[in-house]
Amino acid sequence: MTYRTIGKSYPRIDAIGKVTGTTLYPGDRNYDDELWMKILFARRPHARVLRIDTGQAEALPGVVAVLTAKDVPVNEYGLQIPDQPVLCGPGSGKEGADVVRFVGDQVALVIAESEKIAAQARDLIRVEYEDLPVLADPRQAMAPDAYQLHPHAPDNVAAHHRVVKGDVDSIWGQCDVIIEGEYRTPFQEHAYLQPEAGTAYLDEENRITVHVAGQWTWEDQQQIAHALNLPPERIRVIYDAIGGAFGGREDMSVQIVLALAVMRLAERGVRRPVKIIWSREESIIGHCKRHPMTIKSKWGATRDGVLIAAEVEVVSDAGAYMYTSNKVLGNTTITCTGPYEFPNVRVNAYAVYTNNLPGGAFRGFGAPQGHFAAEMQMNKLAEALGMSPVEIRLKNVLDDEKTLSVGTPLPGGVSLKQVVEEAARAGGWEMAGGAEKNSPHPCSPAPPPPRFRGRGFAAGFKNVGFSFGYQENSWAKVALEGDAEIQQATLYIAGADVGQGHHTAMLQIAAETLTLPTDKIKLVVSDTAVTQSSGSASASRLTFLAGNAVKGAAERALARWQDEERPAVAEYTYLAPKTTPFAEVDGEPSTPNFAYGYVAQSVEVEVDTETGTIHVTRVVSADDVGKAINPRQVVGQIEGSVVQAQGYAVLENFQVKDGYVLTPHLSTYLIPGVLDIPDRVDSIIVEHPDPRGPYGVRGVGEMPFLPLTPALIAAVHDATGVWFDDFPLTPERVLRGLSKI
């Protein structure tokens, strides 16, 4: 199949504006009559707000308003369940809303003539707290006598998933080898370039209009409308340029409070724009993090390396509120047995409320944690059996017939064998044979001691879309104008371009479907006044879902054009194949997802055994994306995932003590710099089309993140002989593992 537009690396349509600095991010929007907002964060992990005295703050010249819980019409929100107060404190009528449950809970809003005055006034607010017991650890929170953080969650369990297949209990005796491990994964901060910011005002139709950077305009609109007790059409959400998201913008940050301020000011006769820009410190304490998890795994196999049984227990730190913890846990539940077939499986997974920062969406959405445990187990199993980590994977990977732990095969065409072989070949691995054949690939001379080199391998898979019973959908609209020929096409979409290049990809799909050059197509994006729901920019879903919507709308508009309609306009909402939640009954099959992407990686490292520092010399990543709409953007996703995952594995050390964040700056929480990233990343784009994806598309945003940590840790094991069951592999942890400290 040859295509005119897709499969080509078109330059990003947002590139020139971003490079020249003309692009407006939400914090760049200036108005002559703007007001500034600052938020009083709780900055304590668990306490009841007894009294808030705003008198001094309100008396400060230049302060326009101070808002607290009593000013919030419906003082609750949340993507999955509304368990979080908009503002914590007394007087809102919402039960439990007077309690702060993590340091980033919001207590009061100050709106003033300048940011400086707003900050001064914020510091004049006096809050009387009664401290409550701090639950800093999920195990502690699950104890029977622990303080109950939410009335709906006995034992503080926010979510529990259970998957059973076959009969795990009676099978261990038939296993020739059993591998057991307990794995711990850390927090991770999104560290997007652009901290949370936004501006809100009343538009010409009196709609409360919020300019912000998020991941799903429609959902933001719903959340704001609920808290303000207004019909959604009274709220308008517009996305300006978005400086990275990685999942961290899926939940609310400044959206509701900006809209609340505009509403309350208007009631007082003040109709002026309100603006807020979070500092980096506010961003780091104010939004969710990747869930820390503890995963206990017991796997059994035959001496030939065929997997027989897996028993896994997952405990995830959900933090103070639900956010998407239940959905994240679903992905961990599925991925904690890896992309392999087991005849016998039992997984019990718990997400537990604590007084830590909420766990939320972050690139991989539970799958990095699941894969860490699974791929560590697989690599230990290969070692125990003297097998190549490639060979043991080829023997066990899922294919079109084999069934996942939930009792059903993976839909959409399974290419695991192919990605494993591609990554292995490029990484110089033997496909078969004993471990002795897996000495590091001699691509460069071995370093002198105390540095040692090693190589590791891992594979992965990830669902495309939220699913688990949720009816995935995405909307698009295409309008065609002209007479005999189409002069101008307009594409309306609401998928968030968070920096991944979504708008460019959709333009390419529209151009391909309409057989138009891209410069004849105008884009109208992410404004709830003129766009509907394209769904969230998350779950590696947007190219698949929104691509299908764009393709469907373009095909329908074209049909109307051919029927001589002028202009020819078509809207289309793509509905993905149906999925089901996990089965209620043990052993019953379920179909939690409709599409997947696949990945395998080979990682080479050098470990300095005197300092404990790790340098990544090479990463090979083979990713089945179905069809690369824009190959350069796909490579960008692969390289970006690899670097972010390397930070997760080695460098990023988010430290929390008793609910307080010890690393609230980018000087204390480090992310990889240009000299820290791998010397070389070989991105191999595999295209095994998904028949239901637009032009065969799967997804790519998350998959290359998944195997990196276990492959890197296997490489460190290869270099040092030591397995690390927790990370990040800070130099200190490495030396401790080597018993040198």
Partner 1 sequence: MHTPTPGLPEFDYVKLTSLAAASQFLAEHAGEARPFMGGTDVFVRMRDGFWKEKYIVDVKGLDGMDEITFDPATGLTIGASVNMNRVIASPEVNQHYPVLAEAAHTVASYQLRTRATIVGNVCNASPAGDTIGACLVLNGTLRVHGVDGVREEPLSTFFVGPGQTVLKPGDIATAVSFPLPPEGYAARYIKLGRNAIGDLAIVGVAALGYPDSSAPSGYRFRLALASVAPVPLVPTQAEAILAEKPITEATIAEAARAAMDACTPIDDVRGSARYRKLMVRNLTRKAVTEVWERIKG
User: What 3-state class would DSSP assign to 307?
Assistant: strand
665 — phi, psi (to 5°)? -130, 160
362 touches 194 (CB < 8 A): no
CB of residue 670 vs partner 1: minimum separation in angstroms?
5
- Beta strands (DSSP E) in 436-539 are 451-463, 473-482, 486-493, 521-525
Instruction: Give 59-101 as a DSSP string.
Output: HSTTEEEEE-GGG-SS--B-SSS--B-SS-STTS--TTTTEE-
For partner 1, the closer of residues 83 and 189 by Cβ is 189
Strands 235-239 and 208-212: parallel
CB of residue 286 vs partner 1: minimum separation in angstroms?
11
Rounded Cα distance between 153 and 502, Å, is 38
Max CA pair span of the chain: 78
CB of residue 671 vs partner 1: minimum separation in angstroms?
8
CA distances (Å), 673 to each of 18, 645, 654, 668, 676, in order? 21, 13, 17, 14, 5
Provide the binding-site residues for partner 1, judged by CB under 8 A.
38, 43, 103, 115-116, 119-120, 122-123, 279, 281-282, 610-611, 613, 651, 653, 655, 660, 662-664, 667-668, 670, 672-676, 730-732, 735, 740-741
Helix, strand, coil share of the chain (percent; to 5): 30, 25, 45
For partner 1, the closer of residues 118 and 622 by Cβ is 118
CB of residue 8 vs partner 1: minimum separation in angstroms?
36
Rounded Cα distance between 111 and 201, Å, is 13
Rounded Cα distance between 507 and 476, Å, is 12
Q: Among 596, 621, 617, which Cα is nearest to 544's?
A: 596
For partner 1, the closer of residues 100 and 235 by Cβ is 100
Q: Report the Cα–Cα distance between both ends of the chain, in Å, rounded.
A: 59
CB of residue 640 vs partner 1: minimum separation in angstroms?
18
For partner 1, the closer of residues 142 and 735 by Cβ is 735
For partner 1, the closer of residues 408 and 668 by Cβ is 668
434 — phi, psi (to 5°)? -75, 175
> Nearest-5° angle of CA 224, CA 197, CA 504?
90
CB of residue 612 vs partner 1: minimum separation in angstroms?
8
For partner 1, the closer of residues 38 and 298 by Cβ is 38
CB of residue 261 vs partner 1: minimum separation in angstroms?
17
For partner 1, the closer of residues 48 and 733 by Cβ is 733
CB of residue 203 vs partner 1: minimum separation in angstroms?
27
Q: Among 726, 719, 720, which Cα is nearest to 650's?
A: 726
Q: Among 741, 730, 736, which Cα is nearest to 676's?
A: 730
| Residue 510 one-letter amino acid | A
| Residue 730 one-letter amino acid | T
For partner 1, the closer of residues 296 and 733 by Cβ is 733
CB of residue 347 vs partner 1: minimum separation in angstroms?
35
For partner 1, the closer of residues 121 and 505 by Cβ is 121
For partner 1, the closer of residues 112 and 397 by Cβ is 112
CB of residue 611 vs partner 1: minimum separation in angstroms?
6
